[in-house]
């Protein structure tokens, strides 16, 4: 079964502070998006890749990724719009789809392959997860603690998230909106979402501190 990847990369990167869109911010000499796509291309299972680029930077992204055989489409206003636009551009032969945030630029090949394996083993949907290290509390509107949430039951969810194509497309058709996570759409449709072990290196670059961490990870090699 052919595995395709859609890469939402059209976000502004507001939490990174002023500058170019996040996917184009430079990390160790190259844009985040180039790091992300290179890692995807290093995965033996991966076929077609479609990137949803910032609409004003489509030509720039096409040029940056010329060596990686990807299709580039303009992204949308919300992440989910960007995912839908990229999904629509995947070739017909793609039966298994991964959705991978450009912002998770340092995802290890092993995490991608673990997601693909779970799909090949028959899962409709699969997400990489990590245990929660911190104690988690629920707070009220005034900031007062309402209770402690047992963290043993909680997981932090990463990407790539993998789906049988028809399951993801049906969920998108059923729930146009703006969830931050594709598995959430599929859950809402009643589909069981499986988990595999993620990686600390698949963290999402969100703040300037995360760029420092990413530089350190790359420097370590």
Binding residues (CB under 5 A) for Mg ion: these are 11
4/47 Cα distance (integer angstroms): 5
> Please, what is the Cα angle at 23 between 54 and 221, to 5 degrees?
160
100/83 Cα distance (integer angstroms): 9
88/77 Cα distance (integer angstroms): 16
Place of tokens 């049906």: 170
- Residue 48 or 160 with smaller CB distance to ligand CTP: 160
Beta strand 46-53 with 2-8 is: parallel
- Residue 147 or 177 with smaller CB distance to ligand CTP: 177
What residue is closest to ligand CTP based on CB? 11
Q: State in angstroms the smallest separation of the CB of 32 from Mg ion.
A: 14
Residue 200: DSSP 8-state: G
Binding partner selected for residue 181 from ligand CTP, Mg ion, none, CB under the kind-specific 5 to 8 Å limit: none
Binding partner selected for residue 52 from ligand CTP, Mg ion, none, CB under the kind-specific 5 to 8 Å limit: ligand CTP
Binding partner selected for residue 22 from ligand CTP, Mg ion, none, CB under the kind-specific 5 to 8 Å limit: ligand CTP
Hey, is 146 helix, strand or coil?
strand
Cis geometry, peptide bond prior to residue 62 (ω within 30 degrees of 0): no
Give the footprint of ligand CTP on this chain (CB under 6 A): 8-15, 22-23, 52, 75-79, 82, 101-103, 204, 206
- Residue 10 or 90 with smaller CB distance to ligand CTP: 10
- Residue 76 or 184 with smaller CB distance to ligand CTP: 76
Binding partner selected for residue 6 from Mg ion, ligand CTP, none, CB under the kind-specific 5 to 8 Å limit: none
């Amino acid at each position: 079964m052919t595995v395709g990847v859609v890469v939402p990369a059209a976000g502004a990167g507001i939490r990174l502070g002023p500058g170019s869109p996040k996917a184009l911010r430079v990390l160790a000499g190259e844009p985040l998006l180039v790091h992300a796509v290179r890692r995807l291309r290093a995965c033996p299972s991966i076929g077609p890749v479609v990137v949803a680029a910032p609409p004003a930077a489509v030509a720039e992204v096409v040029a940056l990724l010329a060596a990686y055989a990807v299709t580039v489409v303009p992204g949308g206003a919300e992440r989910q719009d960007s995912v839908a636009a990229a999904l629509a551009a995947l070739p017909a032969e793609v039966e298994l789809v991964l959705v991978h945030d450009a912002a998770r630029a340092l995802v290890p090949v092993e995490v991608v392959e673990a997601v693909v394996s779970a799909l090949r083993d028959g899962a409709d949907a699969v997400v990489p997860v990590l245990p929660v290290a911190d104690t988690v509390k629920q707070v009220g509107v005034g900031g007062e603690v309402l209770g402690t949430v047992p963290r043993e039951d909680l997981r932090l969810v990463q990407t790539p998230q993998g789906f049988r194509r028809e399951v993801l497309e049906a969920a998108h058709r059923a729930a146009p909106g703006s969830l931050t996570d594709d598995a959430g759409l599929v859950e809402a449709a009643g589909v069981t979402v499986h988990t595999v072990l993620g990686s600390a290196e698949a963290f999402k670059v969100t703040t300037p501190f995360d760029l420092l961490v990413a530089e350190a990870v790359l420097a370590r090699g």
